[in-house]
Every structure is written in structure tokens, then in C-alpha cells.
Amino acid sequence: MGDINHFEYGWITPALSYALSVLGSVLGLVCAGRIRTARTSRQRAWWGLLSAWALGGTAIWAMHFMAMLGFAVENTRIRYDVPLTVASTVIAVVAVGIGLAIVGTGRLNAVRLIAGGVFTGSGVAAMHYTGMAAMRLNGTLGYDTLRVALSVAIAVVAATVALWLAMTVRKGVAVFASALVMGIAVNGMHFTGMSALSVHRHEGANRDVTGAGVSTLLVPIMLAVIFGVVGLLYALLAAPTDDDRAASEYLAGRRVAEPVAPTPAPDPVGLRARSTLGQPGNPFPSRRDTPPR
């Protein structure tokens, strides 16, 4: 059995992973709120995609990878299979996106919420264990069945609560408080799943471990997170809010209600002021009206 250390760098990695999960949850909840106020199916799909990326890509997957930076096994290097690592990202985003589509289509009820929570939670668990399967080291991974089942149950419950919050929470303080709770749930699922892991080292085998190192993956992943967060913030700031729409409708109503006075025709040489011909209703002068000299 290999000695496992989940906090090789102390509490810096779990603290950063929690911060990422809270940040992604805040952005995801705000984007999900825009789904409810969207007026077209295209707008709803756009905000659903952004919310899925924020929740699945940042709050869940980036948090998972950040926490894995502190994972170490004694006397063996750890590498990652890049295609499986990318696949775990896709699984997280797609699972959250489908869950949002389930609860965001039509009236929210218990059946939709439970169905979306089960699907999304199962997808989150699949993301976690796919990411673990991408890990390469000089040993064999084993899992405790009871703790794996517990981690899946936590993922389903956390996903259900997250979807309910995404469809109901609106106020800024409530969004932040909900993101704090979601961060605890996501990290709880991750470390519960990690506690189920055991490593059986290959004694006497000095084979090379293939795959990408953490340092190789860290830069592109962090750049993707940074650009993703900046893009989400730009999309949120550029999109009109409910107050903006109300103001536009009010101004449009004022324009319709207030009649516009006709603009007089231009009179560049002042003929209208010197001649009665320019005044409406005046008769055209004739020679008969001219007094004799």
C-alpha cells in the first residue's frame, strides 16, 4: 500500500479549490438567473451555456484539478492522461447544461428538480472518477465501495440543491450565501471520493510513468479559467438588466403618448414674414383688389 497525502502543500490547495468553487457558483447562479428573464429561446440557450460553463467548468472541474495539486503518493510520480482529462471537463459541463435544461424548461416542479439533480449529480460523479482514471502512477488504484456510493449520493444531493438555487435565488446576498453552501457541497463530494481511494504500489518496478505532469497542465488550465471568468463577467456586464429593459419600455411609451409638433418648413430668405402668401388661409391677391391710383 502506498502512503497517500491529500494535502502535500498544506491548506493552500483546498483553500484555492474552495475559492474556485464559490467563484464559479456565483457566476453560474447569476447566469442562471438570466435564463428566467430571457425573452427568446436563443437567449435562454446562451445563458444556459454560460451557466453550465461557470458551474461545470469552474465550480466543479477546476476545483477538482486544484484540489488534485495537493494529492501525492509516496515514492511515485503522478502524471495525467490528457484526453481523459479533457473528457472529464466535457462531462462536467454537459451534465450541468442538461440539468439546467431539464429544470429550466417549463414550470419548475419536484419531478423536474429530482430528475435534473440525479442526472447532474451522476455526471459530476462521473467527472470525478474519470479524472481519477486519467491519473498515471507507479501503482494500481482501488476504491472503497461504501465511500464511493456516499460520494455519489453527496453529488446528487448537491446537484439538486444547486439546480433549485439556480432557478429560485435572485438577490445578491442570497446568491453569495448559496455559493458558499455550494462550495462546501462540491468540496465535500470531492474529498469524500478521494477518501475512498487506495493505491497499491508496484514493488520493484521502476517503469516510467507516461502522461502530462501537473506543471504542464497547470498553465493552460489556469489561463482557461481566467479567460472564462473574464468572458462571463463581460457577458454579464454587457447584457441589459431588468431595470434597463424597464427604462427602455418607459421611454418608448413616453414617445408614443406625447404627440410631436409639426416642424415648420424652412424660410431662409424671410419671405414668410414679409408676404401674406406664406400664411395659410389668406386669399390669393388679384388686380381687382388693387386700389386705383
Residue 288 lies in a domain: no
Residue appearing with cell numbers 435565488: 169
**pLDDT given at position 70:** 85
Residue 189 lies in a domain: yes
C-beta of residue 142 within 8 angstroms of C-beta of residue 196: no
Q: Is 140 exposed, middle or buried (0-12, 13-18, 19+ CB in 10 A)?
A: exposed
- Distance, CA of 99 to CA of 118 (rounded, Å): 9
pTM, two decimals, is 0.77
Residue 54 lies in a domain: yes
Residue 278 lies in a domain: no
SS in 3 state form for the chain? CCCEECCCCCCHHHHHHHHHHHHHHHHHHHHHHHHHHCCCHHHHHHHHHHHHHHHHHHHHHHHHHHHHCCCEECCECCEECHHHHHHHHHHHHHHHHHHHHHHHCCCCCHHHHHHHHHHHHHHHHHHHHHHHHCEECCEEEEECHHHHHHHHHHHHHHHHHHHHHHHHCCCHHHHHHHHHHHHHHHHHHHHHHHHCEEEEECCCCCCCCCCECHHHHHHHHHHHHHHHHHHHHHHHHHCCCHHHHHHHHHHHHHHHHCCCCCCCCCCCCCHHHHCHHHCCCCCCCCHHHCCCC
Residue 253 lies in a domain: no
Tens place of pLDDT for every residue, the chain, 293 residues?
667 888 888 889 899 999 999 999 999 999 988 887 788 888 888 999 999 999 999 999 999 988 888 888 888 888 899 999 999 999 999 999 999 988 877 788 889 999 999 999 999 999 999 999 998 888 888 999 999 999 999 999 999 998 898 888 878 888 889 999 899 999 999 999 999 998 888 775 556 777 788 778 888 888 888 898 898 888 888 877 666 666 666 676 777 666 656 666 665 655 555 555 545 555 555 555 555 55
Residue 272 lies in a domain: no
Residue 98 lies in a domain: yes
**pLDDT given at position 149:** 94
Residue ranges making up the domain that contains 25: 4-201+210-247
The count of structural domains within the chain is: 1
Q: Using alpha carbons, select from 62, 230, 75, 227 the residue that is nearest to residue 137.
A: 75
Spatial neighbors of 238 by CB under 8 A, at least 6 apart, are none
- Distance, CA of 145 to CA of 205 (rounded, Å): 28
Cell of 166: 439556480
Q: Using alpha carbons, select from 143, 136, 146, 1 the residue that is nearest to residue 79.
A: 136
Report angle CA 153, 157, 160 to the nearest 5 degrees.
Answer: 140
Residue 16 lies in a domain: yes
- Distance, CA of 201 to CA of 184 (rounded, Å): 32
